[in-house]
Amino acid sequence: MTSITEIKDKLLRIHRSGKYATLSPANLLQTHTQLTSILTLHQTLLSAVELYDLYELQFYVSLMMSEDAIALKYMNLIIDRFGNNNSQRITILKTVYLNATEGAQSASYYVREKLKENQDQLRIMRTNIGLLKQQKEPTEYIEALVSFLDRQPLDAQCWYELSEQYCQLGNYDKALHCLKEVLMLQPYAYNVMYKVGEVSLASLKQAAASATFQTPKTLDKVYGVAKDGRSNFLRSIELCDNYAKAWIGLYVMTLDGYSLNEKLSSRGNVLKSHRSLEGNIEAYLAKNAALHSMAQKKLLELSYDKDLPQEVLAAIAAALS
C-alpha cells in the first residue's frame, strides 16, 4: 500500500514538473482526490514550502476540473500568506483564474493594469502576449510583442512570432527585419533561412504588382530583396541538403516565367542611366538559369523519396507541374 509520504512526494513532483497540465482525466481525478486528502488530513506532514506548493497544485487541478470555488479557496490561502502586491506568482495565479472563469478579455485587462504598476515583470508581459493572441487582436498583439522585445531583445521566439504577425498584415519589410534578428541569435537555423526566402518571395510578388515598379530606386530595392531571398534559400539548402521547402522556394524564385524575373528583364529603358544596377540585375537573372536547373533536378530526386511526408511530396509535385 502506498504511504502518505510517497503520495506527498509524487504530488510535489507533479507540481515541480508542471505535468498536471497533461494528466489524463483519470489521473487528474486521482491527483485531486489525493490532494484533498493530504491537505485536509495530513497537513502536519508538510513543511511550509511543501504546503503552499500543494495549495498551488490544488488550485491548478481544481480549475482543470471546473471546480472554480475550490480553486479560488486555495488561491486566497496563498494570497493570505504571501500578500497581494508585486508578486509575479500571485499575478500569474490571478490571471489564470480570470482566464478560466471570465475569459481572456478580463484576464488581459487585469494583466495590463499590473503592468502599469511594475513594468519590469517580464513574465507577466509574456502572459499578456498569450492572452492577446487568444483574442485575435493583431494591433494590440503586435504592440505587446514590440514592448516585450524592447525589454528582452534576445528572445528569438518573440521575434519570429512578430514576423508572422507582420506577414499576415502584408508588411514584409518589417517581417524580414524580425527574421534577421532571429538569425543573429540562431545563425544556423536553416528553417528560419527558408522563411526569409519565403517572405522575400511574398514581398517580391507584392512589388511586381505595384504601379511604382518603374524607377531605378524601386528596382534596386527589389533586386536587393530578390538576391537576399535567393541567398537564404541557398544557405538553408547548404545546411540541410534534403530540406524540400527550401528547394521548392529556390525553384519558384528562379523560374523564367516568374513575374518578378519577367519584369526585371523588361526594364531596360529604366536602367539605361544606371549601368551598375543593370549589370547586377543581368548577373542575377543569368545565375537563375543554372540554379533553376539544379533545383529542378533535386526536386525530381526528392519526389521519389517515400520517406518524405505526403504533404511535402504533394508540394513538390505541385511546384514541378
Q: Is the pLDDT of residue 146 over 70?
A: yes
CB 105 within 8 A of CB 96: no
* pTM assigned to the model: 0.63
Question: pLDDT tens for residues 160-211?
Answer: 999 999 999 999 999 999 999 999 888 899 999 999 999 999 988 887 776 5
- DSSP output for 123-146: HHHHHHHHHHHHHT-HHHHHHHHH
Question: pLDDT tens for residues 86-139?
Answer: 677 888 899 899 989 998 888 888 888 877 766 556 676 677 777 777 776 788
CB 180 within 8 A of CB 208: no
DSSP class of 288: H
Grid cell of 93 as nine digits: 495565479
Any idea how long the chain is? 321
Which helix H or strand E contains 192, and what residues bound it? helix 190-208
Q: Calculate what percentage of the chain has a pLDDT beyond 70.
A: 85
pLDDT of residue 19: 78
Question: pLDDT tens for residues 36-95?
Answer: 999 999 888 899 999 999 999 999 999 999 999 999 999 999 999 888 766 778 888 998
DSSP class of 94: H
Grid cell of 296 as nine digits: 529542378
How far, rounded to the nearest angstrom, does the alpha carbon of residue 152 sit from its chain's CA centroid?
15
Question: pLDDT tens for residues 255-304?
Answer: 865 556 666 665 555 555 566 666 777 788 888 889 999 999 999 999 99
Alpha-carbon gap, residue 19 to 159, rounded angstroms: 28
Alpha-carbon gap, residue 259 to 204, rounded angstroms: 9
